Amino acid sequence: MIKLSPRLAIRAILPLTAAGLIAFTLFNLDAPVRASAQLPAQPATAPAGAGAVVAGLGLIEPSSELISVGSELSGVVREVFVTPGELVAAGAPLFRLDARALAASLDATAAGADQARASADATRSRVPGLEAAAMTAEAGIAAAAAGVTTAEGNLTQARGRLAGAQSAARSARIAADDAAARAALFEALSDPAAASRDERDRARFAAQSAAEAARQAEAAVQEAEGAVRAAEGGLADARARLAQARSQAATARSAISEARNSATASDAAARSAAAQSRVVATDIDRLTVRAPMAGQVLRVNVRPGEFATAGPASTPLVAMGAVDPLYVRVQIDEEDITRIRLGAPAEGSLRGAASTRIPLRFVRVEPQAQPKTNLSGGAERVDTRVVEVIYAFDRGDLPAFVGQQMDVYVPADPLPVQAAAGEPK
């Protein structure tokens, strides 16, 4: 028996171990599963017997184009009324934002308008009474003016009587002085036989009578002066009453003007509050977003409780459009646009259903060329510019969805034949 040294044994074990591991690995590995290759969908081909055509890739869209419905105001969505695929009429509600704050503001402005109208009516109802008071004051002015005229006449008469009394008093004093002088002459006679006793008595009685007449004339003057003072007081009272009547009339006219101005201001406040109410009511109505036209709801990207922001957004809150008929936006390379027969009907088939072709009606050509965005997967240049041609088809002719791609074949003039090398052109 051959004995190996420990070093040689170790050197022999390592290769044997490696060979065993390799054999174990190869034994436990499964053979690769060969998947059967599935044939791809039937590729699109030009219609048989159609002559020269230009093929283009089209994108199905609503006839109204895709409408991204947004919100005019920002707020929390409280209710969504539509679901994707639903047909809606023009003006139908799509979703509604929270309107509680605006509703409270509407109630406040409506109450303000009602209060202003009530104030205007109450103020206006006072005008007839103020006008009656003004008429009474005007009548009082006329009566007071007549009283002033009467008082002036009375004063004139009293002054006339005073003048007469003063003249009579002067005459009476002169007569009394004359009678007193005559009586004094008789009394001064030293010879009693120069005048009879009867003459002396008549002279004395005449002097006494003249003195009494003078006293009565003085009393009449005092009475006439009292009458003049009374007439002057009456005139002053009449003039005071006239001034008071004029003041009352001015106050009544001022009150009428103030009431009318107040009613006008209240009317203006009522109109302003009513206008503000209409503004708030309009904002409340704007919180309900409605369909801008009749069509189909294509996507709903908003839910109750979410916050909707006014203005443009990267994702539309609701997408919709008119889907009867549907349009196909076909991109025709700029090299082929001069060959196609604009206005002629075309044919199209959906991707994956090349055998089903439907006629397409020409609609229009977009007047501006665009960079090519829809690539069919072939050897296409990305810097190619295309002209978009719009065709239409009835949705009942083909069950299609907005956003699907369609292969479109447009009748065109044949390509010019290139002359072979060496042949005359």
Q: Which long-range contacts (CB under 8 A, 24 or more apart) does 229-238 make?
A: 230/158, 231/151, 231/154, 231/155, 231/157, 231/158, 231/159, 232/155, 234/151, 234/154, 234/155, 235/148, 235/151, 235/152, 235/154, 235/155, 237/151, 238/144, 238/147, 238/148, 238/150, 238/151
* Spatial distance between the Cα atoms of 104 and 111, rounded to a whole number of angstroms: 11
Identify the top-confidence range among 44-58, 175-189, 227-241: 227-241
User: Residue 151 CB: number of other CB atoms within 10 A?
Assistant: 21
pLDDT at 419: 47
Q: What is the CATH number of the domain that holds 306?
A: 2.40.50.100
> Would you say residue 211 lies in a domain?
yes
Q: Is the pLDDT of residue 421 over 60?
A: no
Reported as a single tens digit per residue, the pLDDT across 316-333 is 899 999 998 999 999 998
pLDDT at 195: 67
> Would you say residue 54 lies in a domain?
yes
* Averaged pLDDT for residues 297-313: 90
pLDDT at 137: 84
Q: Is the pLDDT of residue 420 over 70?
A: no
Mean pLDDT, the chain, integer? 83
Instruction: Give the range among 68-82, 158-172, 291-305 with minimum mean pLDDT.
Output: 158-172
Question: Are 88 and 146 in the same domain?
Answer: no
Structure tokens given for 86: 């639903």
pLDDT at 366: 92
* Averaged pLDDT for residues 390-409: 90
Q: Is the pLDDT of residue 1 over 50?
A: no
Q: What angle do CA 313, 316, 318 make, to 5 degrees?
A: 150
Percent of the chain with pLDDT over 90: 32
> Would you say residue 30 lies in a domain?
no
Question: Are 162 and 240 in the same domain?
Answer: yes
Q: Is the pLDDT of residue 405 over 70?
A: yes
Q: Is the pLDDT of residue 375 over 80?
A: no
Backbone angles phi, psi at 95, to 5 degrees: -155, 165
> Would you say residue 6 lies in a domain?
no
Tell which residue, 16, 66, 93, 131, has the closest CA to residue 320: 66
Question: Are 195 and 327 in the same domain?
Answer: no
Reported as a single tens digit per residue, the pLDDT across 105-128 is 989 988 988 888 898 898 888 888
* Averaged pLDDT for residues 146-159: 88
Q: Is the pLDDT of residue 232 over 60?
A: yes
> Among 286, 304, 337, where does a domain finish?
286
Q: What is the DSSP letter of 63?
A: T
Q: What is the CATH number of the domain that holds 370?
A: 2.40.30.170
Q: How many domains are contained in the chain?
A: 3
Instruction: Give the range among 5-19, 241-255, 305-319 with minimum mean pLDDT.
Output: 5-19
Question: Are 49 and 146 in the same domain?
Answer: no
CA gyration radius, the chain: 62
Q: What is the CATH number of the domain that holds 222?
A: 1.10.287.950
* Spatial distance between the Cα atoms of 43 and 377, rounded to a whole number of angstroms: 12
pLDDT at 36: 45
Instruction: Give the range among 150-154, 157-161, 414-418 with minimum mean pLDDT.
Output: 414-418
Quick check: bond before 325 cis, omega within 30? yes
* Spatial distance between the Cα atoms of 230 and 347, rounded to a whole number of angstroms: 123
Q: Is the pLDDT of residue 294 over 90?
A: yes
Question: Are 272 and 340 in the same domain?
Answer: no
Question: Are 106 and 90 in the same domain?
Answer: no
Identify the top-confidence range among 233-237, 317-321, 377-381: 317-321
pLDDT at 37: 43
Q: What is the pTM of this model?
A: 0.58
Question: Are 274 and 164 in the same domain?
Answer: yes
pLDDT at 387: 92
pLDDT at 179: 80
Structure tokens given for 411: 């009748």
Instruction: Give the range among 15-24, 165-174, 312-321, 407-416 with minimum mean pLDDT.
Output: 15-24
| pLDDT band at residue 7 using 50, 70 and 90 as cut-offs | low
Question: Are 107 and 244 in the same domain?
Answer: yes
**Based on the number of CB atoms within 10 Å of its own CB, is 420 exposed (0-12), middle (13-18) or buried (19 or more)?**
exposed
Question: Are 230 and 266 in the same domain?
Answer: yes
Bridge pairing between strands 295-300 and 307-308 = unpaired
* Spatial distance between the Cα atoms of 54 and 413, rounded to a whole number of angstroms: 9
Question: Are 78 and 120 in the same domain?
Answer: no
* Residue 376 CB contacts under 8 Å (≥ 6 apart), including other chains: 57
Residue 376: domain span: 38-63+323-416
pLDDT at 40: 44
Instruction: Give the range among 41-55, 199-213, 219-233, 390-404 with minimum mean pLDDT.
Output: 41-55
> Would you say residue 9 lies in a domain?
no
Reported as a single tens digit per residue, the pLDDT across 56-96 is 899 999 999 999 999 999 999 999 999 999 999 999 999 99
* Averaged pLDDT for residues 381-396: 84
> Would you say residue 221 lies in a domain?
yes
Q: Are 289 and 93 in contact (CB under 8 A)?
A: yes
| pLDDT band at residue 35 using 50, 70 and 90 as cut-offs | very low
Question: Are 264 and 132 in the same domain?
Answer: yes
> Would you say residue 245 lies in a domain?
yes
* Spatial distance between the Cα atoms of 282 and 269, rounded to a whole number of angstroms: 20
Question: Are 44 and 152 in the same domain?
Answer: no
> Would you say residue 12 lies in a domain?
no
**Based on the number of CB atoms within 10 Å of its own CB, is 176 exposed (0-12), middle (13-18) or buried (19 or more)?**
buried
> Among 269, 286, 303, where does a domain finish?
286
Cα separations in angstroms, 404 against 45, 56, 86, 134, 365: 18, 14, 19, 85, 20
Backbone angles phi, psi at 332, to 5 degrees: -105, 125
